[in-house]
Structure 1
Amino acid sequence: MTIHEPQPPTRAVPRPNEGVWPGLGTVPRSPVKGRIAEGLFRRAVRSLPVRVEIGDEVLGLGGPTMRIVRPDAFFRRLGNDSKIGFGEAYMVGDWTADDLPGLLEPFAATLSTLIPPALQRLARRWVEARQPAEEANSLEGSRENIHRHYDLSNELFQLFLDETMSYSAAWFAPGSDDLVAAQERKIDGILDLAGVAADQHILEIGTGWGGLAIRAARRGARVTTITISAEQAALAEQRIAAAGLADRVQVLLRDYREARGSYDAVVSVEMIEAVGEKYWPTYFAALDRLLKPGGRVGLQAITMPDDRMRVARNDYTWIHKYVFPGGLIPSVESIERSLGDTSLHISERRSLGPDYARTLNHWNRRFQERWSEVAALGFDETFRRMWEFYLGYCEAGFRVGYLDVYQLSLTR
């Protein structure tokens, strides 16, 4: 079937600066892989509720629109490594969408079946990239991985997060779309699961920008909070001081493996995703070691189904390359398995999956609305499209249940 060359998009997308985005400006030299990818893509989208425009040709059952504006480049990137190329093609403008999360939703819903399983296994073995050894979450590797994302710019995160500076799933009250209230409700929820009360000494693993530590201190607790992000630690200390709680909260630049002491409660919100499967037993052993007898752990974790986690555990994806190096999303079952050598078990749980989709939608809209301010910080058009794809892809995953997020209470 002939592919007609489309008209140029109404807004030209600049080619990436090779000094900032090495390799992105060069289309892979893989015409055979590109033709194979094109055939598989066409076969897949015919049965999806999307509208795919390739010049004058239209594929799909109808729905959110995807416009492939540079077909040859798009299919070559896809053929070179589908788990990375699809996102990279969006970053450079090979394709566009009128509703990115809506378009990605049916792709996310059928992620395990879009490509025949036999071809998936073949691609994993011979085509797709493997996790780089340098991104393993050793003490040194973890610091570098965290630095690459969380130390991008405090000002960037301030522009699209709410005033609590919470970079994790909110928990919306019925009938409310207030993000600040939802983030405060989420924090209260995890503190309640850990049994945090006045005059307790609690440990937080993963400071973020201090929102949870501030709220725990306002309950009357003393808080030791640890992070390996120097940028986050600096702003967290400023925010804690501004809240008048510097005497109740101590911020330490320290890895969870280096934590010492004994605490009435331990809390950790969406930090386990950065630990890496190899180190999950070490992480949970640390929680067990640091918790006083009778204490509780409040853990918030993004999760995926156990069968998908087992298949994807060694994958190197677009998210790894551009957003969260070294990460792996656990399943609830893998958390339970990792707790097997500790005295801890899951005693309570609640799912916030749909709430995370709403949270991401808030962040994405705010990012778009404030793009001129983000650009003024020095971020370019390629970064804008990268961040759009990251937030949109995650929102789609939570919408369809491919991803979930749980608040868990761990007790002895």
Structure 2
Amino acid sequence: MTTTSPHTPEALDARRWPDVARVPGGPLRALAARAVTGYAAAHAGVRVHTGPEAPEPGRTPAAADDAPVLWLRDPDAFHRRLAADGLIGFGESYMAGEWDSPDPVALLTRLAQDYENLVPRPLQPLRHITLPRRPPSDRNTRAGARRHISHHYDLSNELFSVFLDRTMTYSSGLFADGEPRDMPTLARAQERKIDRLLDGAGVSEGARLLEIGTGWGELAIRAARRGARVTTVTLSAEQRDLARERVADAGVADRVEVALRDYRDVEGSYDAVVSVEMVEAVGERYWPVYFAALDRLVRPGGRVALQSITMEHGLMRASRGSYTWMHKYVFPGGLIPSVTAVEEQLRARTSLAVVDRLSFGHDYADTLRLWREAFSESADRVRELGFDDTFRRMWFFYLAYCEAGFRSGIIDVEQIIMERAR
């Protein structure tokens, strides 16, 4: 039995968002979820506020005045979703407007910091039994990879332009110590990030560079301005089209080829290969193919520069088979690797050796904050582009959720420079 959430946004299209429009049944399981919510809130130092009116600061003596707030507008629907679908239900409940927070990032950060202890210890083994498992459609076959990339990156170039900086770079910037962390500075941080990767890969005049994962072309443009000849591949038609425009506008079209091509189908030998936050979309099943391709495509003595979001190895292993809210709504088919997993693939599949590493997860947290703020300020423009309020809440939750992951340290981002044996 299902019911319609009373707090579902008016603009919600039940055909577009069927699992957000429906609230699962199961009142007995919801009682258990209510108990777990109370346990988790007390354990993490979160203040729970119930009711249609916004919470006032410091009104609950059971928690510190600065405690992050979980505001349950519709506690019954929230607990039903949590009982039925775990963290998928948690995200869908936010999309439906059933819960909120005066500071969602602070709330999600606090929960992430104590993630492993939010469920009573006797119930923790049940996580692996009750969590949804990945469906076969989540695999990144060639057709699956095209579908998954299109799901996210072909939404609209205009959508991404409302919250990205002028470089249209959709990965972490690298800030310098002491500089302001605002949107104008983010553009310089993105250029610094790209230049560090190109330097690490030894990209200079006359170099033959392969980029796996084009984005919207900024890295290819900066490499071409160094005098490199660049082949860059993507599975997103929207990205390819805008990247070609930006390459032409930059005056480097004679040195850059932008191709709609799977990395598995790339041929040739290059002096350097660069891949920025692409490996997370590959999927564990295809890591051997991906890392073997890096090794195959770079010449002996050449370098590979990889930028990847990472997580602790034990957490990666524990979550590798889980189907999450992020898979369902944002990034189907992906898995964030650990540094250990990357090193295992390098040893088993390649002649590549790591020569340099840099982690800068705190910079990703600030990059995401700037994106989130720009996205929120552009709500009217997002609606003009045809995206409804449910999508807007989904995208805000995605950005806040990721920011909290980096602020809590549960995930990180690394630049890993590798060299192929001569």
> Which structure 2 residues correspond to residues 176-195 of structure 1 after superposition, within 5 A?
176=179, 177=181, 178-195=185-202
Q: Is the 8 A contact 2:230 2:255 kept in 1?
A: yes
Cα deviation for residue 71 of structure 1 reads: 0.6
Deviates more, 1:235-244 or 1:46-55: 46-55
> Which structure 2 residues correspond to residues 64-143 of structure 1 after superposition, within 5 A?
64-116=68-120, 118-125=122-129, 127-143=130-146
Instruction: Please tell me whether residue 285 in structure 1 is matched to residue 292 in structure 2.
Output: yes
Q: Is the 8 A contact 1:353 1:401 kept in 2?
A: yes
Instruction: Please tell me whether residue 32 in structure 1 is matched to residue 36 in structure 2.
Output: no
Instruction: Please tell me whether residue 394 in structure 1 is matched to residue 402 in structure 2.
Output: yes
Instruction: Please tell me whether residue 270 in structure 1 is matched to residue 274 in structure 2.
Output: no
Cα deviation for residue 113 of structure 1 reads: 1.7
Q: CA RMSD in A?
A: 1.6
Instruction: Please tell me whether residue 21 in structure 1 is matched to residue 17 in structure 2.
Output: yes
Counterpart residue number, 1:373: 381
Deviates more, 1:298-307 or 1:192-201: 192-201
2:47 to 46, 51, 55: 51
- Aligned-partner Cα distance in 2 for 1:260–1:399: 39
TM-score, scaled relative to structure 1: 0.95
Q: Is the 8 A contact 2:44 2:118 kept in 1?
A: no
- Aligned-partner Cα distance in 2 for 1:83–1:209: 32
Cα deviation for residue 111 of structure 1 reads: 1.2
- Aligned-partner Cα distance in 2 for 1:373–1:128: 37
Q: Is the 8 A contact 1:90 1:96 kept in 2?
A: yes
Counterpart residue number, 2:3: none
Unaligned runs of 5+ in 1: 1-7
- Aligned-partner Cα distance in 2 for 1:294–1:378: 49
The amino acid of 1:111's aligned partner reads Y
The amino acid of 1:38's aligned partner reads R
Instruction: Please tell me whether residue 153 in structure 1 is matched to residue 146 in structure 2.
Output: no
- Aligned-partner Cα distance in 1 for 2:261–2:116: 38
Instruction: Please tell me whether residue 384 in structure 1 is matched to residue 384 in structure 2.
Output: no
- Aligned-partner Cα distance in 2 for 1:23–1:87: 11
Q: Is the 8 A contact 2:272 2:302 kept in 1?
A: yes
Residue identity over aligned pairs, in percent, reads: 54
- Aligned-partner Cα distance in 1 for 2:273–2:158: 29
Counterpart residue number, 2:222: 215
- Aligned-partner Cα distance in 1 for 2:124–2:264: 36
Counterpart residue number, 1:307: 314
Cα deviation for residue 197 of structure 1 reads: 0.9
Cα deviation for residue 201 of structure 1 reads: 0.7
Unaligned runs of 5+ in 2: 1-5
Q: Is the 8 A contact 1:108 1:396 kept in 2?
A: yes
The amino acid of 1:365's aligned partner reads E
Q: Is the 8 A contact 2:306 2:417 kept in 1?
A: yes
Q: Is the 8 A contact 1:83 1:316 kept in 2?
A: no
> Which structure 2 residues correspond to residues 235-254 of structure 1 after superposition, within 5 A?
235-254=242-261
Change (3 A) 1:36 1:186: same
Counterpart residue number, 1:224: 231
Structure 1 SS opposite 2:254: coil
- Aligned-partner Cα distance in 2 for 1:137–1:121: 29
> Which structure 2 residues correspond to residues 310-325 of structure 1 after superposition, within 5 A?
310-325=317-332
Q: Is the 8 A contact 1:46 1:61 kept in 2?
A: no
Q: Is the 8 A contact 2:19 2:92 kept in 1?
A: no
Structure 2 SS opposite 1:264: strand
The amino acid of 2:323's aligned partner reads Y
Cα deviation for residue 123 of structure 1 reads: 3.1
Instruction: Please tell me whether residue 163 in structure 1 is matched to residue 171 in structure 2.
Output: no
- Aligned-partner Cα distance in 2 for 1:230–1:320: 21
1:337 to 335, 341, 344: 344
The amino acid of 2:305's aligned partner reads G
Cα deviation for residue 110 of structure 1 reads: 1.0
Q: Is the 8 A contact 1:45 1:60 kept in 2?
A: no
Q: Is the 8 A contact 2:39 2:119 kept in 1?
A: no
- Aligned-partner Cα distance in 2 for 1:129–1:60: 33
- Aligned-partner Cα distance in 1 for 2:39–2:194: 45
1:355 to 355, 363, 366: 363
Structure 2 SS opposite 1:106: helix
- Aligned-partner Cα distance in 2 for 1:247–1:223: 10
Cα deviation for residue 47 of structure 1 reads: 2.7
Structure 2 SS opposite 1:392: helix
Q: How many residues align?
A: 402
- Aligned-partner Cα distance in 2 for 1:60–1:325: 37
Counterpart residue number, 1:4: none
Deviates more, 1:20-29 or 1:355-364: 20-29
Cα deviation for residue 60 of structure 1 reads: 4.3
Cα deviation for residue 356 of structure 1 reads: 0.1
Structure 2 SS opposite 1:298: strand
Counterpart residue number, 1:403: 411
- Aligned-partner Cα distance in 1 for 2:281–2:121: 28
